[in-house]
Chain A
Amino acid sequence: MSIKPVSGPHLIAVRRVDDIMRKVIIALLPATAWGIFLFGWPALYLSVVTILSALVFEAFCLKLKGVAATPYLYDGSAILTGLLVVMTLPPWAPWWIGVVGSAFAIILGKQVYGGLGQNVFNPAMLARVALLISFPIEMTTWVKVKPIFVGPGIIDSLSITFSGMVPDAVIGATTLGAVKTGFSLHQTLPEILHDYSPALDFIGWGRGSMGETSSLLIIAGGLWLLRQGVIQWYAPLSLLLTITVLSSTFHLTDDLHYLGPWVHLNSGGVMLVAFFIATDYVTTPNTPLGQSLFGIGCGALIYIIRTWGGYPEGSGFAILLMNAVTPLIDHYIRPRIYGRYRNGKPIESNQP
C-alpha cells in the first residue's frame, strides 16, 4: 500500500490522448485514400515524405528538449499534423514542399511554443499559409484528375515528386482560382462555371489539394468523429452555416458576381477546415459558445477573403486569424458557475 497520499478519483475513463489522435487519423483516411486514388502515385509519395519528415522533426525537437521521444511519437500527434499538412498541399507538389511544410508545422507551429498542447496556431494551417506565401508557384500548381491506374506509373511518378517535372499539359486551376481569374478578365459567373458539376464537386472529382476535394468523404469522417464524441458540433456547424448564409445572401442579390453556397462549401478545403481544423482542441475555444463564435468568425473571414481579398481560398488565413482571437474568446466566454450569474456574482435567492 502506498504511503504517499493519492487523491481521488480512483476510477478513470478509458479514453486516452493516443486514442483520440488515432480516431482523428482514421477519420481522415478515406479522404486521403481518395486523394491518392485521384492523383496517383505522386500524391502517395508526397504523403509518405511529409508524414515521415513530420515524425523526424518531432523526434529532433524532442531530442533538443531532452525529452524521451518515443512516448510522444507514439501518441500520433505528429503523424496527424503531417497528414493534415499533406492533405492541404497540391498533390503533385515536389517532395521538398512536403518537408518544408512539415518543418513549419512541427517546429514553428508546435515545438517552439513548448510542444503538444501549447501552440497558439494550428500547425497544419500555419504550414499551409507559410508555404503559400513563400512558394506561390508550387502551391498553386493544380493537376487534372489522374486516377492511379491511368496516371503516371510508379517509376514515372518518382520524377514528378522528386525532381519536380510536372508536364504543363495537366496543369489547370481550381474552381475558386478559375473564378478569381475569370473576374479579373471581366467574365461573369455563368461564363466561368459553364462546365461546373455540383455533384462531381461534392464527390470530389476535380482539381484541388490532395485531401480536400471530396466533401462527401470528409463529412463522413467528421460525422464519425462526432459520433465517437471526439469532436463537438458547435464549430463545424456554425462555420458552415455562416458561409452558407453569407454566400446565399450575396448570391441572391447578384448571381453574376457572387458564388453560390454550394461552390463555397465544396471548394478550397472548407469541409476539412470545418470538421478537422476548427475542431482542433489546442487552438480553439473551450466552451460551446466560444466554439460557435470561433466557427462564425472563421466562416465570415473565409467568405470575406474569398470574395474581396487577394487569395481565392482563404481558409488558412481565416483559421490563423481566429486562432489568434481564441485566448480572448476564452477569457471572456466562460461557462456560468453554479449558483452564480455569468458575471460571477452569486445569484439572488428569489424564492418565497
Chain B
Amino acid sequence: MYILSAIIILTALGLFLGLSLGIAAKYLKVESDPLLEQVEALMPGSQCGQCGFPGCRPAAEAVVSGAAPVTLCPPGGTSLIEQLAKLLGIEVDLSQTTDADPMVARVSEDTCTGCTRCFKVCPTDAIVGAPKQIHAVVADACIGCEKCINVCPTECLQMHPIEVTLRDWRWPKPLVSA
C-alpha cells in the first residue's frame, strides 16, 4: 500500500514538474542567448577567420556552446581569453599562453602591380591605392588578418612585426623558472 502511494506521488510529481518545465521552456524562452551577444561584443569583430570559423559570430556561438575553447582567437590575445573565461565562469591556465607579436602587412613597391585585389578584401580599409598604382598599408588600421596576403597575385604583400619605438617599448616578462 505504502509502495503504491509512493509510486503514485512520485509519478504525479514527475509529471507535474516535467509539464511545468515544458511550459516554461515554451513560454519563457529567451529569444537570443544574451551570453552570445556579450561574447560577440568581446570578439575583435574583424571576421578574419583565423580561428577556423567563418566569422566572429559563428566563433562566439562555438565558444558559448562549448564547441570551441576560449583560447581560439589569436588576435584577441591573452586579454580576450581572460575576459571570456571570466564571462563564462571557467578556469583557464593562462600561464602557458603567449601573445604572438602583432604583425602588420607591408607592400613591397618592387612587385606591386596595382591590381586592387588586396584592398577589395581588406576588412578595415587599411590598404589604400588606385588601379595601376602602387598600394600602401596604413599600419595603424591593419589588424594582421592576412586576407590580403592570400589574394595578392605577385606576393608583394608580406607580414612584418610592428616596429617597436621608444614610446611603445615595454618590459618583457621575467624569464625565471620558479
Q: Does a CB–CB distance below 8 Å link A and B in the complex?
A: yes
Residues of B within 8 A of A5 (CB): 171-172
Complex-state Cα separation, A7 to B171, whole angstroms: 8
B149-178 CB mask vs A (1 if < 8 Å, else 0) is: 000000000000000000000011010000
Give the Cβ gap from A181 to chain B, nearest Cβ, in Å. 50
Give the Cβ gap from A128 to chain B, nearest Cβ, in Å. 29
Give the Cβ gap from A321 to chain B, nearest Cβ, in Å. 27
Among residues of A, the one whose C-beta sits closest to the C-beta of B174 is A7
Residues of A within 8 A of B172 (CB): 5
Among residues of A, the one whose C-beta sits closest to the C-beta of B175 is A4
A190-213 CB mask vs B (1 if < 8 Å, else 0) is: 000000000000000000000000
Interface bracket on A = under 10
| Chain A-chain B contacts (Cβ-Cβ < 8 Å), number | 4
Residues of B within 8 A of A7 (CB): 171, 174
Complex-state Cα separation, A266 to B75, whole angstroms: 64
At the interface, is chain A mostly helix, strand, loop or mixed?
loop
Complex-state Cα separation, A106 to B126, whole angstroms: 60
Complex-state Cα separation, A253 to B60, whole angstroms: 69
Complex-state Cα separation, A7 to B174, whole angstroms: 9
B18-31 CB mask vs A (1 if < 8 Å, else 0) is: 00000000000000
* Residues from 1 to 24 in A contacting B, C-beta threshold 8 Å: 5, 7
Give the Cβ gap from A49 to chain B, nearest Cβ, in Å. 31
Complex-state Cα separation, A7 to B172, whole angstroms: 10
Complex-state Cα separation, A175 to B174, whole angstroms: 55
Give the Cβ gap from B129 to chain A, nearest Cβ, in Å. 39
Complex-state Cα separation, A5 to B172, whole angstroms: 8
Complex-state Cα separation, A299 to B172, whole angstroms: 46
A119-134 CB mask vs B (1 if < 8 Å, else 0) is: 0000000000000000
Residues of A within 8 A of B171 (CB): 5, 7
Residues of A within 8 A of B174 (CB): 7
Among residues of B, the one whose C-beta sits closest to the C-beta of A67 is B177
Among residues of B, the one whose C-beta sits closest to the C-beta of A115 is B178
Give the Cβ gap from B57 to chain A, nearest Cβ, in Å. 38
Complex-state Cα separation, A5 to B174, whole angstroms: 10
Complex-state Cα separation, A7 to B175, whole angstroms: 12
* Residues from 90 to 129 in B contacting A, C-beta threshold 8 Å: none
Among residues of A, the one whose C-beta sits closest to the C-beta of B169 is A5
Complex-state Cα separation, A290 to B125, whole angstroms: 57
Complex-state Cα separation, A260 to B172, whole angstroms: 60
Give the Cβ gap from A86 to chain B, nearest Cβ, in Å. 29
Complex-state Cα separation, A5 to B171, whole angstroms: 8
Give the Cβ gap from B141 to chain A, nearest Cβ, in Å. 30
Complex-state Cα separation, A82 to B102, whole angstroms: 51
Among residues of B, the one whose C-beta sits closest to the C-beta of A117 is B178
* Residues from 91 to 121 in A contacting B, C-beta threshold 8 Å: none
Give the Cβ gap from A5 to chain B, nearest Cβ, in Å. 7
* Residues from 42 to 82 in B contacting A, C-beta threshold 8 Å: none
Give the Cβ gap from A76 to chain B, nearest Cβ, in Å. 17
Give the Cβ gap from B74 to chain A, nearest Cβ, in Å. 26
Give the Cβ gap from B175 to chain A, nearest Cβ, in Å. 8
Complex-state Cα separation, A5 to B175, whole angstroms: 11
Give the Cβ gap from A70 to chain B, nearest Cβ, in Å. 15
Give the Cβ gap from B19 to chain A, nearest Cβ, in Å. 44
Complex-state Cα separation, A349 to B174, whole angstroms: 38
Give the Cβ gap from A117 to chain B, nearest Cβ, in Å. 9
Complex-state Cα separation, A187 to B20, whole angstroms: 66
Give the Cβ gap from B106 to chain A, nearest Cβ, in Å. 26
Give the Cβ gap from B77 to chain A, nearest Cβ, in Å. 22
Complex-state Cα separation, A5 to B169, whole angstroms: 11
Give the Cβ gap from A315 to chain B, nearest Cβ, in Å. 32
Complex-state Cα separation, A5 to B173, whole angstroms: 11
Complex-state Cα separation, A307 to B172, whole angstroms: 57
Give the Cβ gap from A225 to chain B, nearest Cβ, in Å. 25
Give the Cβ gap from B75 to chain A, nearest Cβ, in Å. 27
Among residues of B, the one whose C-beta sits closest to the C-beta of A7 is B171
Give the Cβ gap from B48 to chain A, nearest Cβ, in Å. 32
Complex-state Cα separation, A296 to B76, whole angstroms: 48
Give the Cβ gap from B1 to chain A, nearest Cβ, in Å. 46
Give the Cβ gap from B28 to chain A, nearest Cβ, in Å. 37
Give the Cβ gap from A311 to chain B, nearest Cβ, in Å. 38
Complex-state Cα separation, A203 to B144, whole angstroms: 76
Give the Cβ gap from A111 to chain B, nearest Cβ, in Å. 15
Give the Cβ gap from A62 to chain B, nearest Cβ, in Å. 13
Complex-state Cα separation, A153 to B171, whole angstroms: 65
A-B pairs with beta carbons under 8 Å apart, 4 shown:
A5-B171, A5-B172, A7-B171, A7-B174
Residues of A in contact with B (beta carbons under 8 Å apart): 5, 7
Listed from nearest, the 4 A-B pairs whose CB atoms lie closest are A7-B171, A5-B171, A5-B172, A7-B174
